[in-house]
Amino acid sequence: MSSSGIDERLAALTRGEWLGRFPPHLREPVARAVIQLAIAAAVLTAVAPFADRKGEAWMEASFTRTLGALAATRGLDSAISLAQSSEVSFSFGPGGSLGIGQALDPINDLVEQYGALLLTSTTALGVQRLGMEIAQSLGFWLFLPALAALGVASCCGPAGKTSLITWSRRLFGLALFVRLALPAAGWIDSLVADRFLEPGYQKAAAAVAATTESIEQVETDDANRPWYERYNPVDAIGDRAKKTYDQLAAVGESIVNLAIYFTISTILLPLGTLWLLSRLTTAFFSGAPGDSRRA
């Protein structure tokens, strides 16, 4: 069957030509109300539960991962702060003090900024979760404005009827978007993140965890050294500082990669997916009632 034939059948269906027992001015509003009720029932009983399961699974996984990353970041920040607080005192003429962790300031600032980003990601996930819960609680009530517009259209003249049918279709599209967009976006985002972002995340997260353990081990080894070695400036600077700096040599790149991952997966990707779904919904549910390509 050609596309024009399908369009004609859809147009006849929405015009209500199959409702021969109804008065002509009621056929289109009633036909559209029946179609909307059928679609709403299918969405609420089959499509929405499936989308909710996928979206909630992604939401819980993202929350767990973000909170775990935040805890790991705090551990790394504490380890770096501990290294920064270590100072070696020595005397050259009037005397002086050298802090072996002062060179760690840039990486410490980067870790703090990364922690702030994780808090933002957690907030974004919380907003999405709240939106999903609100949409689920509204349920069928989301579709009532569209049906109400059709009910009023059946009582109006041709001009008012056309306008109200147009608004009914737009409200119905809005109801579908509100009910399905967030869980569908979560499902789509999980597929994209698993396919393109997961390998980089695993590698960077492992590097941060290993670096934290290594720095803590350096501090533990230093505490177990004899006092004359711990307070020997040459040994401290040449051994302990070198170990600490070596462990942090590549962690900056890993933190940047993690920041990119959480920015994309919890903020940019959901916003982009919602924008795309909104554009598709607008394109499909806008237009004049006589447009046979739309319901």
pTM of the model: 0.80
Q: Give the pLDDT score at 11.
A: 77
Numbers of helices and strands, H then E, in the chain: 12, 2
In order of 59, 109, 148, 165, 205, the CA distances from 30 in angstroms are: 39, 64, 11, 11, 57
Q: Which residues of 162-175 are buried (b: 16+ CB within 10 A; e: fewer)?
A: bebbbbbbbbbbbb
- pLDDT digit string (tens) for 57-69? 999 999 999 999 9
* Angle at CA of residue 123, ends 172 and 184, nearest 5°: 35
The parts of the chain modelled with pLDDT lower than 50 are 1, 87-98, 227-228, 234, 236, 238, 292-293
The 10s digit of each residue's pLDDT in 236-267 is 454 555 566 666 666 888 899 999 999 999 99
The residue type at 220: T
Q: How far apart are CA 238 and CA 207, in angstroms?
A: 24
Let me know: does 66 contact 121? Beta carbons within 8 Å: yes
Contact 186, 128 (CB under 8 A): yes
> What does the block give as tokens for 31?
């036909």
pLDDT at 79: 76
